[in-house]
Structure 1
């Protein structure tokens, strides 16, 4: 590994939560300067996540600044990481398993200077740990870091995300086969006939909007394997903080859907850079009784928002559920990027081997024991009945994703 940081920049390690909190403005500038950044790398999302899930003493945020004539220079790269000790010493991204994408941030205009310095800083921070960057979207800044990494490295496949072009729903329907398009248009007409209307939740009403979203989400999944984390107070607090701050910056939209004047559904959409994605929704079972296609309702609104903001990608985020495939999305596989110092290559290979074995075991369960998903759902329902918030912390970094957030 490089002994010194490249000339022209300064590298530091942020370990204090108060210092991380104070980075908001310059972090936001860097986030805008990194074309591959997703909403899950915004300061509002990451700092809120840390407040709900961070472990004291484990924060490890690598910062790279261009040296300026008057001391502290402009932030040109950052790696938001934390230290965990299970199953072995690892540096993992902030955001945990509730974030669909993980990445580092690099100012595209100064990548030639920033990337070597970021690699130096991460190598110094990972003196006794393997760096495990999960859920890196293809084209992410972490891919460029991995490609130029001077030490041992490995790459594995991570989750599949489904993506559509950010077009109005009429254009998305036009991409479908004629029979499918005809059925979808009929479902959209049904939604209109029911009088369902979308109403944006203003930023100052986000707390109430999140509470409504989570109540409807629990009602929608009751008895069908709810993700227990979505019922915990720490998750609610994180969504309120993050959504409020991101909505004020135009990076989040909370939408309430009403029928006959009362709320029957709510959805949270996050956006940044070129990408927009529906993160979480909840729907009253009355919509199923009225034969309303909730997925079509949500996608129409998300497509309208994405096209209206001039974005390129409408992501359906993690999971390849059948209802997503109706829209003919592209399946995009995120990467899991492992990095280490030369002295830790045996540890990296051990972690790589463990990760591959876990993935093979999970695939075997999915293919040979299809009832396992049903049993996991029943277990989650049982746990949900006893959920009281639980202790702070994050799920194991090698745990598989929970049930789909949307349906």
Structure 2
């Protein structure tokens, strides 16, 4: 397979070919063609980029389970469904990226009219013995078109809620707030400037060291409080450093250091696609709180500049509806879970649907009737000692934590 990058639309007269890639080395070689397809896909998010997905596979993939459904037109890649085989306990095809990715989707070149149908055929063949379970599909994603035209049993469910702001200067975002609240945030911004907090864009070659600093600061920030167990594992740190460095080289990520009195006191990672900028992870020294620095406001100002300066339409706070995000009056956007199956696997699809509905009902009952139960996972995580030699934790994916 050629690794030459395709930067323009593929030749219209070329025939479409559909293949399923199961080889990790071939996945790596797809990088330039995948990047070209990602640039041509308006609905793509940073979590569908090749650096993110391939790095995730290196850290989390299980040998023998890779299932990339690919559509080529001549040498150009015009559609791709990055999937892997899993058992839950039924065989399912799930997107690469896992729970640490806020959005998951397929990629389709809008300039190739036959690409959606060809990808649909490829997915139907790949689903001969497994249900396709596409989680965290952002509204307007390419997978929606596949769902609409799927010839067999299908099911659509609600998934995580994300919060979004317009890609606008911070002053415009403040104008959307009630006067008293806007004045409070402006006072926090003036304090940042008075203290002399500065920002530095980290060059791609320095990103691994900056990510290590991010994790170290985050460990200090969350000491004594619960963290997601996955964020204690070395594979997460390896993935983030590797993916962020590659994405910084291509303009799909921005790593920023915040300095005070010459010292790095915070570091964060912002992920970027053609239409979207989203603050993914950060670490901040607890001393910032002692000096009355509002970390959320500091990060949001940077992300708003990032989105505005690059013409991106959406500033995403990613998953979660924490109160500190709601202060900015964002728009809630609900991701989707799309289940697709061949007719003979309809019972498996309905079983997965019923299981998801039952879990959602139990979660809602716990939220409304037994709210104290929601605090126990964090408490248990806080009591669990870190393993010797384990990498430091990061906050969960999906927006900045409160300052």
Task: Flag whether TM exceeds 0.5 (same fold).
Answer: yes
Structure 1 unaligned regions, length at least 5: 1-6, 391-400
The Cα of 1:19 is off from its aligned counterpart by: 0.5
The Cα of 1:108 is off from its aligned counterpart by: 1.1
Q: Is the 8 A contact 1:218 1:226 kept in 2?
A: no
For 1:235 and 1:119, how far apart are their aligned partners in 2? Answer: 32
1:28 aligns with 2:35: yes
Q: Choose from 81, 96, 99 the match for 2:98.
A: 96
Q: Normalization by structure 1: what TM-score?
A: 0.92
For 1:15 and 1:220, how far apart are their aligned partners in 2? Answer: 41
Q: Is the 8 A contact 2:102 2:398 kept in 1?
A: no
Q: Is the 8 A contact 2:317 2:400 kept in 1?
A: no
How many residues were matched structurally?
Answer: 385
The Cα of 1:389 is off from its aligned counterpart by: 4.9
The Cα of 1:87 is off from its aligned counterpart by: 2.6
Q: Normalization by structure 2: what TM-score?
A: 0.93
**SS of 2:256's equivalent?**
strand
The Cα of 1:386 is off from its aligned counterpart by: 3.2
For 1:138 and 1:161, how far apart are their aligned partners in 2? Answer: 11
**SS of 2:103's equivalent?**
coil
For 2:107 and 2:23, how far apart are their aligned partners in 1? Answer: 19
Match of 2:186 in 1: 185
For 2:223 and 2:89, how far apart are their aligned partners in 1? Answer: 33
Larger displacement relative to structure 2 (350-359 or 221-230): 221-230
1:51 aligns with 2:58: yes
Q: Where do residues 6-405 of structure 1 align in structure 2 (5 Å cutoff)?
A: 8-66=15-73, 68=74, 73-110=75-112, 112-386=113-387, 389=390
The Cα of 1:366 is off from its aligned counterpart by: 2.1
**SS of 1:35's equivalent?**
coil
For 1:31 and 1:138, how far apart are their aligned partners in 2? Answer: 17
Structure 2 unaligned regions, length at least 5: 1-13
For 1:193 and 1:230, how far apart are their aligned partners in 2? Answer: 34
For 1:249 and 1:126, how far apart are their aligned partners in 2? Answer: 34
The Cα of 1:8 is off from its aligned counterpart by: 3.5
The Cα of 1:229 is off from its aligned counterpart by: 1.8
Q: Deviations 1:324-344 (Å, cap 9, x if unpaired)?
A: 111111000000000001111
For 1:387 and 1:314, how far apart are their aligned partners in 2? Answer: 38
Q: Is the 8 A contact 1:80 1:94 kept in 2?
A: yes
**SS of 1:143's equivalent?**
helix
Moved >4 Å (runs of 4+): 387-390, 401-405
Q: Is the 8 A contact 1:40 1:102 kept in 2?
A: yes
For 2:274 and 2:187, how far apart are their aligned partners in 1? Answer: 33
Match of 2:5 in 1: none
For 1:334 and 1:48, how far apart are their aligned partners in 2? Answer: 23
Q: Is the 8 A contact 1:225 1:380 kept in 2?
A: yes
Q: Deviations 1:344-381 (Å, cap 9, x if unpaired)?
A: 11110011101111111122222222222322112112
For 1:218 and 1:260, how far apart are their aligned partners in 2? Answer: 21
Q: Is the 8 A contact 1:11 1:117 kept in 2?
A: yes
> Cα gap change, 1:53/1:24 in structure 2, threshold over 3 Å: closer, same or farther?
same
> Cα gap change, 1:86/1:223 in structure 2, threshold over 3 Å: closer, same or farther?
same
Q: Is the 8 A contact 2:279 2:398 kept in 1?
A: no
> Cα gap change, 1:291/1:92 in structure 2, threshold over 3 Å: closer, same or farther?
same
